[in-house]
Chains A and B, each alone.
Chain A
């Protein structure tokens, strides 16, 4: 895990000597946290590991001592079981000047191999260029061999670049390099056939494709095998129509995230895949606050921005 920790400290956040580093974790991920602390100490940072009580769902606020500690940190790492990314505690720490590296559901495997070992500085240029293209474009069409054919408007929406480097107050999730945007509410039409991964709720890598029929910006039906049935029931139980909202469109750009593993931050970064986020969009530039948010990743997409093909069968044509 030492190599991964070094990347997190030296490349992703660029920890400097004398900086106060806070690593928020829980009992299941203390080993990862301690490796990051060691690497931060090695560059002269003053690193404290804060072991938080287990939280029951993603994006539940941490307890008061944890958020108080985060507010005084220069750099924060978040190797936690349930995401802290979209919490008031993180927003407040960023407002106080923190650089935040999100590591939700991180695994020891991810410290040793894969996405963390990409050339972030180089990929960042591609990611930023892709985000600019998303900002400039008005209309997106996505297809894939499994049967996806989806269209939506992104007019007036800005593209965001997340390239695993946070060199000023702000946030990045690692090792997921992605450029994303938020489709205009109500505009998404077509079919999304998910044959990659749904790294949420324990669904994981897809065994039998999950077919989402979408109209007017909402998922209208979910068909497929056991995983489809599980997801359909879980969403129905939320009693919230907004959990079906098409919230996000993102392009994975990490060449070292090679295969789907069911690990969220790995799967979403797999190079040349796209994912559609469903549910909450308010933290992504949209306006919807739903009870949950999940991402569905497809293999070998072809993507057109307005009339220009930018990905063909999973091969990125942008430069």
Chain B
């Protein structure tokens, strides 16, 4: 019998991304809303001979809230963790300590039937893109100054000297996590070093903003966004930041480079941030990525057709990775 696309998506997550082996201990953390997705993943993991435990937790009330301690204890015993939950548990001690004990984590926050059947998941050669991810990551790792430009007028420069580069290959090794199908390389600009103009014209997959109708134009001075202009969507974002009355919400926290050639811009985080030919600038908290700034928020602003120069050498132009 032919597999449905949803089953194929789940099989990809299990066999390609999770590389689940027979006899491995798989823990799926889910909640009521995502239970159907969890069941698909569970069936796929069962089919390869894994021992599958599914934990249905009460829906968390905010991103980053710890799962219940019994579930954290279950996660610590897993070889592979899948997390189809409505509210993110990505940045929790529970995930951290499971990774420290050698788990591989496939993060599936707010997964939908559309994501699990998307081209970004079903048609991507994850092995090949992992290689691209590592090559670009190495170039960033060796670099000191980065300049970002775009046809719309972005021109932003910052230091990445001695910063940790995070390579989200989507095929995690023990101790690593992967927000599949968001293949990306990211790095935290040196605090206070970013200057220039940032023009986001792709999406802001937060706050219900989604795909951008009008660009959001930000002036960046000494590491902080000092002005934000544009249409209605720019206003929604600016107000969501200003309400915290915390300058760190405007900190330039991350450069993320999407590397999934099949991902499409939809307004959903896991789809958008991996789109090849886009980059995103994260603003707000950076400590979860290796920076030192703590803020109550972290939002990403995506733009199309970046040109990325490292120490004067172009490493990417649009969708073309040149290293």
A interface residues, Cβ below 8 angstroms from B: 20, 22, 34, 37, 41, 46-53, 63-66, 68-73
Contact = CB atoms under 8 A, between A and B. Distances in A.
B56 A69 contact: no
22 contacts: A20-B68, A37-B56, A46-B58, A50-B53, A50-B56, A50-B71, A51-B42, A51-B56, A52-B53, A53-B51, A63-B25, A64-B25, A65-B27, A65-B53, A65-B78, A68-B77, A69-B71, A70-B70, A72-B69, A72-B70, A72-B72, A72-B73
B55 A49 contact: yes
Nearest to B53: A65
Contacts of B73: 65, 68-69, 71-72
A73 B70 contact: yes
Contacts of B46: 53
Given A48-B68, A51-B56, 10 more contacts: A41-B58, A48-B55, A50-B55, A51-B53, A51-B55, A52-B53, A64-B25, A65-B27, A65-B78, A66-B74
A69 B74 contact: yes
Nearest to A64: B77
B159 to A, nearest CB: 43
Contacts of B27: 65
Contacts of A52: 53
Contact of B56 (A48, A68, A72, A73): A48
Contacts, number: 71
Contacts of A73: 70
Among A46, A63, A65, max chain B CB count under 10 A is at A65
A78 B70 CA distance: 15
Nearest to A73: B70
B93 to A, nearest CB: 14
B279 interface: no
B75 A46 contact: no
A22 B74 CA distance: 11
A22 B53 contact: no
Nearest to B56: A49
B131 to A, nearest CB: 33
Contacts of A50: 53-56, 70-71, 74
B163 to A, nearest CB: 35
A66 B53 contact: yes
B58 A48 contact: yes
A9 to B, nearest CB: 14
A83 to B, nearest CB: 18
Contacts of B68: 20, 46, 48
A63 B46 CA distance: 14
B57 interface: yes
Contacts of B67: 48
A53 B53 contact: yes
Contacts of B69: 20, 72
B312 to A, nearest CB: 51
Interface in B30-62: 42, 46, 51-58
Nearest to B81: A65
A22 B57 CA distance: 10
Among A22, A52, A68, max chain B CB count under 10 A is at A68
Nearest to B76: A68
Contacts of A65: 25, 27, 53, 73-75, 77-78
B49 to A, nearest CB: 11
A20 B71 CA distance: 10
Among B58, B69, B70, max chain A CB count under 10 A is at B70
A68 to B, nearest CB: 4
Contacts of A47: 58
Contacts of B72: 72
B146 to A, nearest CB: 42
A38 B119 CA distance: 37
A63 B53 contact: yes
B56 A34 contact: yes
A51 B77 contact: no
> Across chains A and B, which 8 residue pairs bring their CB atoms closest together, nearest first?
A65-B74, A69-B70, A49-B56, A68-B73, A51-B54, A65-B77, A69-B74, A64-B77
Interface string B204-217: 00000000000000
Contacts of A68: 70, 73-74, 76-77
Contacts of B70: 20, 22, 48, 50, 68-73
A51 B38 CA distance: 11
B225 to A, nearest CB: 39
Interface in B50-105: 51-58, 67-78
B276 to A, nearest CB: 36
Contacts of B58: 41, 46-48
A48 B25 contact: no
Nearest to A37: B56
B320 to A, nearest CB: 44
A53 B77 CA distance: 15
B65 to A, nearest CB: 11
A47 B56 CA distance: 9
A230 B200 CA distance: 74
Contacts of A49: 55-56
Nearest to B73: A68
A53 B55 contact: no
B22 to A, nearest CB: 13
A280 B151 CA distance: 78
A73 B68 CA distance: 10
A199 B55 CA distance: 30
Contacts of B57: 48
Contacts of B77: 63-65, 68
Among A22, A47, A48, A70, max chain B CB count under 10 A is at A48
B23 to A, nearest CB: 11
